[in-house]
Structure 1
């Protein structure tokens, strides 16, 4: 996985720099964000529903299941998390199905900052990344120095990726420049002493943004501030990732790359529990942004229970028998 967002085409840096005036002031940023095309909610939801009816069978389904497994950020974000639980989850991420060593590894193990070192040690040189939530996750209600210290601690402990939450209160109050500057500051806190940087995923908490127009604005705001990924939600509220809000974010990264030459990833999180759900999201990716995003460098699932269903469906395709929930470990 690259440590910086790659530019596509020789003029990408120039095109991105040409947008600097958009973020020069709160007024300029507001004009730009409110000048984005309004979202046709009926059309968006209809298209998401239509794509969700695609039938994926046999070899294509097997490919999609393996791809989905490789895209999972296997997550535990509970107050009762222990080192033993994190080590067990890390082992599962590296070897999801001990009876079938052809099963792909997950993309990352996602934990709180104080568990990063434990996960890092458990994962070793497996190639599975350590992702850490930060910035006073999930509410984000903390002063900026606290958020930056939270981020720096996670990176110092070895986090490869940081999932930050935006200040939804500031965003909903129209204080867009404050949100922009905070994302930039967190991105800077992701830098390591050697000059490399942990990947930054910016969480919007779509269920609290209330409107599709706000989700589109937040997507552009996050990308302008330097997000490597934009992420739907924390998984801690009633409305998390939906096909419609994920489709909207995929359209945003597509349009952002067309405007700037910079490619940004998307991570839906929360509420994606079955293989059927995951495959619907992969169809959204393929039909909206194309196969360039069909890898774990550019698309992730934030999930805890999804992996188990994918493993059971994978076993069914392989043997013709459905093993049931006792086939997989309970996380």
Structure 2
């Protein structure tokens, strides 16, 4: 293994190795069997469950990506990001204040989010490159990244061109991802694969590998706008690609499941999957995120039950 294996600096990428990419396979039936066992194999209770749920909070990209987003909605979301869990609950558990991993918005709301989060250290992530379809002209997609970076976004969630994957044009995907990475500069880049539109788990595995070779800091399942978003088989496939890439290069790449993760129990399954497949080093916001909004409300509700013994109404834990 490369001597950089214990270095958490960002992924610098490698030259495209088409032989290695084409050698990547995915045993769908085995992956699905393994994924099906996950919800029932690991169970944490009481204080341990509360601790894991608080860990999940720190790994959430609190997100609003709606056509009717307003500045006030984003401000309310940022207020929740600053105080994601009722301080009375944290005090009862003897825990310090926690914050989410980031706030994710459209470009037009980057400035609003930055001002609302000033002084917190919570980064702002912007979706880019013609999100969610990624079909705008290439020079405009690059320009969009540049505008969000200029506005102050520290993280950029880009969408790949699915046609490159579906046609097996790995060189085109690599060149596109490399250009996106360069346009991001010092901002970290999350590559959204839109896995629900890639056809097969083998395509997911190969696309993951190519994006990492091109310098993606994170690989992310979905935009949240597809009919199928994050699933456990897809997650297992992408996580094992991350593990293979780390063994090959020493670079650690982050993972972000997004779309459809709304329950605290689901968050626990994903955290246990990361721990088993990649190890505790990945259970940090710089290497693991949930793309979610309603998830936080259910986690807070479960934490209130842990402290008080009673479930509160869902409306008491609104995001904004």
- Give me the TM-score of the superposition, normalised by structure 2: 0.92
Shift of 1:47: 1.1
CA distance in 1, matches of 2:127, 2:261: 19
1:99-114 matched pairs, under 5 angstroms: 99-100=87-88, 102-114=96-108
Alpha-carbon separation, structure 1, partners of 2:316 and 2:188: 34
Distance 1:284 1:105 in 2: 23
The residue number in structure 1 matching 2:257 is 268
Aligned to 2:5: 8
Separation in 2, partners of 1:256, 1:32: 11
Counterparts of 2:147 and 2:32, CA distance in 1: 40
Higher relative contact order (CA 8 A, sep 6+): 2
SS of 2:104's partner is strand
1:47 match: secondary structure: helix
State the match for 2:121 in structure 1.
Answer: 127
For structure 1, list consecutive stretches of 5 or more residues without a partner in the other structure: 1-5, 23-28, 192-196
- Tell me if 1:43 matches 2:30: yes
SS of the equivalent of 1:87 reads helix
CA RMSD of aligned residues (A): 1.9
- Report deviation, 1:20: 2.5
Unpaired segments of 5 or more residues in structure 2? 91-95
User: Which of 67, 77, 101 is the equivalent residue of 1:89?
Assistant: 77
**Residue 298 (str. 1) matches residue 299 (str. 2):** no
In the alignment of these two chains, the number of paired residues is 309
Aligned to 1:26: none
Superposed displacement of residue 328, structure 1: 1.1
Residue number in structure 2 paired with 1:202: 191
Q: 1:244 to 1:136 in 2, by over 3 A?
A: same
Residue 142 of structure 1 corresponds to which residue in structure 2?
136
Equivalent pair of 2:77/2:319 in contact (CA under 8 Å)? no
Please state whether the residue corresponding to 2:259 is helix, strand or coil: coil
Aligned residue number for residue 3 of structure 1: none
Residues 248-263 of structure 1 aligned to structure 2 (within 5 Å): 248-263=237-252
2:43 corresponds to: 55
Change (3 A) 1:235 1:307: same
Number of the residue aligned with 1:25 = none
Once the two structures are TM-superposed, the CA of residue 103 in structure 1 deviates from its matched residue by 4.9
Runs of 4+ in 1 over 4 A off after TM superposition: none
- Shift of residue 98 of structure 1? 4.1
Confirm or deny: 8 A CA contact 1:66 1:103 kept in the other structure.
no
1:121-270 alignment runs, 5 A limit: 121-191=115-185, 197-270=186-259
CA contact (8 A) 1:135 1:147 kept: yes
Q: By how many angstroms is 1:329 displaced?
A: 2.0
* Residue 76 (structure 1) aligned with residue 64 (structure 2): yes
In 1: Cα distance, 2:319 partner to 2:119 partner: 25
User: If the length of structure 1 is used for normalisation, what is the TM-score?
Assistant: 0.89
Partner-residue secondary structure (3-state), 2:5: coil
Say which SS state the counterpart of residue 164 (structure 2) adopts.
helix
* Separation (CA, whole Å) in 1 of partners of 2:306 and 2:207: 40
